[in-house]
Amino acid sequence: MYNTKYVLPGLLIFLALFTSPFWAGKVFGTASYERPKLALPAGEKECIEPVEYMRTEHMQILDTWRDQALREGKRTYVASNGKVWNISLQNTCMKCHTNKAEFCDKCHTSNSVTPYCWDCHVEPKGNR
Amino acid sequence: MIEKVLKGSPKFYVWLVFLGSLIGLGAFTYLFQMKYGLSITGMSRDVSWGFYIAQFTYLVGVAASAVMLVLPAYFHHYKKFKKMIIFGEFMAIGAVLMCMLFIVADMGQPQRMLNVMLHPTPNSVMFYDMMVLMGYLVLNAVIGWTTLECERHQVEPPKWIKPLIYLSIFWAFSIHTVTAFLYSGLPGRHYFLTAIMAARFLSSAFCAGPSILLLLLFVVRKMTGFNPGKEAVQTLTKIITYAMGINVFFFLLEVFTAFYSGVPGHAHPIAYLFSGHGGHVDWITGFMWVGAILAILSLALLIPPSLRDNEKLLPWSLAILVTATWIDKGLGLIIGGFTPNPFEKYTVYTPTVPELLISLGIFATGLFVVSILWKIALDVKKEAGTF
Amino acid sequence: MKRSRRQFLKVASLSVLGLSTHLATGGIVNAAQQGEQYLPNEHGLKAGRWAMVIDTRAFETPADFEACVTACHKVHNVPHIPNHQDIKWLWTDKYEHVFPEQSNNHMSEALEKRDFLVLCNHCENPPCVRVCPTKATYKRPDGIVAMDYHRCIGCRFCMAGCPYGARSFNFSDPRKHLDMAEVNPEFPTRMIGVVEKCNFCVERLAQGLMPACVEAAEGKIVFGDLNDPESEVRKVLAENFTIRRKPAVGTQPGVYYII
């Protein structure tokens, strides 16, 4: 290989920079991600599905709900535990999760996620 | 061959920087449109398509017009066109790019533009329009680049280029027919709902596009001394003249059907374009009359052979033709289709300054791409000795 | 040396491509496997083909129309925009504008003065659905022409295609023209850059309720299933002379007017 003394260190530096998101926080002790403390709903103790499933799949669930309710006309959701829910972001999800700022926004903001749901869907009154 | 762009005269780079500044201005204005939406345009609930779509329609025609060189050169072996053809193909690339940019500029939710591909809808003409535009861009890029590269190395183009060229001939007609179908299939818009729309589009394209090509080549001739060839220019001008004659004839056919039949739906849009409504004229009325007069004038300057072959007069005649077709096929078409609205009411459409600035930026982008591609073509020809 | 470096690059790029495709598709397969079900609402109203008959004779005062328009626009958070880039789902106009192809230059004075409610006709053969490149507007099996605001790219081809001028575009952010403290919290607003129109109150039908305008009209508007020969709409249509807007364009509208 020509110019080995430049290419090899260059490659190593590049690899280091490229993988830095994975190790830089630990090495320099700067970033530490703490799961935000969310304000849980006062009433219901259980969401439509178990917490862990909701945490990982709520985006997918909302997409499926959207298509099923709007495009297929199927507005009733029978959960895996048999409970029956009305498919609606504003009238089901937000009926319990009334504090958008302390629930939805907490994780979204710290993960730099900006879903555009709220451009159209009306937030519960408490938050505006 | 891209390296050809890196070596040029200072004037060339000043030109690119100038275009770049216009592009920047357009992009900056587009930021406002992204924030405030299409409310910064002059469009309304009644006239829901405007300047952007008008430019898109005109430029699809310009893109399709490359076929007026390709068809004689490759299908009929008219060798005199072979020198110019790469410029036509490269101009088509610039035109298609501008079309796509105008469509994006016109969309309310451009970040969702991939939905057209993610949810293919075979019954929608716009779906096909998107596909044929992409296909045409790829075709011209591949054909143009390959033939230019072969010219540089002084070899015959590869065999597989021939079927692609024949495909591009057919494709050119199809992109503009599909664009015409966007209009001629709408049941509620009487100005558009006519079978002759596709024929009008094609005839208008085949005079406007080659005219723009010749005008740009005249500029290039002044700047670099590249001569497309006297006979080639004269033949192309003959084609342009026939196409313009047919274009004007087709428009007069529309006028006859509208006014002799007396059916209000057909007549009202044309009456509005040329005489306003309720005793009141808008800016579009003067605009259309200028277009009509220039159209006749361009024919008067192109039909007599002595005037058509007059090299000093020709750029003016062609510029007049381009202006006339731009007026008719651009704003004349769109405003006529949407006015009066389905309630027989009249809402005036006037493009706003932001709309025009964004459009200017897009035109500058097209010119930028064409400048770069033509520079490459010219330098390759110089290198290969086919200048 | 040259050939093997070229081969190395070819193999390497193919493997990276293969690996990333595998990773990408692997992520998509992670769908729900929990055994949930999606069903239509049990208490929702169902029909083969929803249609509406407006008795234009019964609307007497401006207040009658106001009631319907306000009901619709309030329930659906339709903004009021005082310029040409306005949005309307339900509004009124005069005979010569609503039925321009059935014009009559010696109409009775009463008919000339009469206002007619205008809305999306939810056609049987909708041109807007035909032209939409993303199926953002689509026809439901029950005949309602629906809008999916999530998918709309704002190309406005549907607006060009509608022969009735029933569609509105959000030229600006509709929330700029809405008092967010007063909106209906049970229904979303729309966002900038999408097209909207009357939706025959699909969300109310799913709850077993009549459309908002029908409820506000208190009998002046009849709404029901055209496919059900026993329905009230069929009765009203059988007993009265009705017309539809622009029958010549072949759209088969679902809104009938008793003149």
Q: Tens digits of per-residue pLDDT, B318-335? A: 999 999 999 999 999 999
pLDDT at A33: 75
By the CB < 8 Å criterion, does A21 face chain C? no
Q: What are phi and psi of C140, to 5 degrees?
A: -80, 160
By the CB < 8 Å criterion, does A57 face chain C? yes
pLDDT at B34: 95
Q: Can you give the pLDDT of all 128 residues of chain A as single tens digits?
A: 788 899 999 999 999 999 998 888 888 877 777 788 888 887 778 888 888 899 899 999 999 999 999 999 999 999 988 889 999 999 999 888 888 888 888 889 988 999 999 999 998 876 54
By the CB < 8 Å criterion, does A68 face chain C? yes
Question: Which residue is it, tokens 């039925």?
Answer: C99
Bridge partners of residue B76, in order along the sequence = none
Residue C30 has pLDDT above 80, yes or no: no
Question: Which chain C residues touch A75 with a CB distance below 8 Å?
Answer: 40-41, 44, 206
**Short-list B329, B327, B244, B254, CA closest to B288:** B327
> Nearest by CB to C170, which of B44, B108, B265?
B108
pLDDT at C104: 84
The number of CA neighbours under 13 Å toward the Cβ of B289 is 10
The per-residue pLDDT of chain B, averaged, comes to 95
Question: Which residue is it, tokens 């006749």?
Answer: B296
Question: Which chain C residues touch B265 with a CB distance below 8 Å?
Answer: 101
pLDDT at A128: 46
Handedness of CA B278, B280, B283, B284 (dihedral sign): positive
A37-55 pLDDT, tens digit per residue, is: 888 887 778 888 888 899 8
Residue B18 has pLDDT above 90, yes or no: yes
Number of separate domains in chain B = 1
CA of B353 to nearest chain C CA: how many angstroms apart? 16
Q: What are phi and psi of C146, to 5 degrees?
A: -105, 160
* A contact test, residue of C39, C142, C192, C204 with most A CBs within 10 A: C39
Q: Considering only residues B359 and C31, tell me which one the structure prediction assigns the higher pLDDT.
A: B359
CA of B361 to nearest chain C CA: how many angstroms apart? 20
- Structure confidence at residue B51 as a pLDDT band (50, 70, 90): very high
Give the integer Cα–Cα distance in Å for A101 and B26. 37
The per-residue pLDDT of chain C, averaged, comes to 92
A108-125 pLDDT, tens digit per residue, is: 998 899 999 999 999 887
Residue C56 has pLDDT above 80, yes or no: yes
Question: Which chain C residues touch B124 with a CB distance below 8 Å?
Answer: 130-133, 157
Question: Does C27-258 carry CATH code 3.30.70.20?
Answer: yes
Whether residue B342 is preceded by a cis peptide bond, meaning omega within 30 degrees of 0, is no
Q: Tell me, what CATH number does B356's domain have?
A: 1.20.1630.10
Give the integer Cα–Cα distance in Å for B109 and A22. 35
* Cβ distance of A49 and C181 shorter than 8 Å: no
* Cβ distance of A75 and C180 shorter than 8 Å: no
Single pTM value for the model = 0.92
Residue C175 has pLDDT above 70, yes or no: yes
By the CB < 8 Å criterion, does A81 face chain C? no
3-state helix, strand and coil shares in percent for chain B, rounded to the nearest 5 = 75, 0, 20
Supply the range of the domain harboring residue B336: 2-384
Q: What are phi and psi of C55, to 5 degrees?
A: -85, 100
For residues C53 and C242, the answer to whether their CB atoms sit within 8 Å is yes
* Cβ distance of C180 and A122 shorter than 8 Å: yes
Give the integer Cα–Cα distance in Å for B135 and B168. 9
C211-238 pLDDT, tens digit per residue, is: 999 999 999 999 999 999 999 999 999 9
Q: What are phi and psi of B357, to 5 degrees?
A: -70, -40
Mean pLDDT in residue range B107-125: 94
Mean pLDDT in residue range B367-373: 97
Give the integer Cα–Cα distance in Å for B57 and C35. 51
Q: What is each CA distance from C185 to A126, C56, C190, in whole angstroms?
A: 11, 32, 13
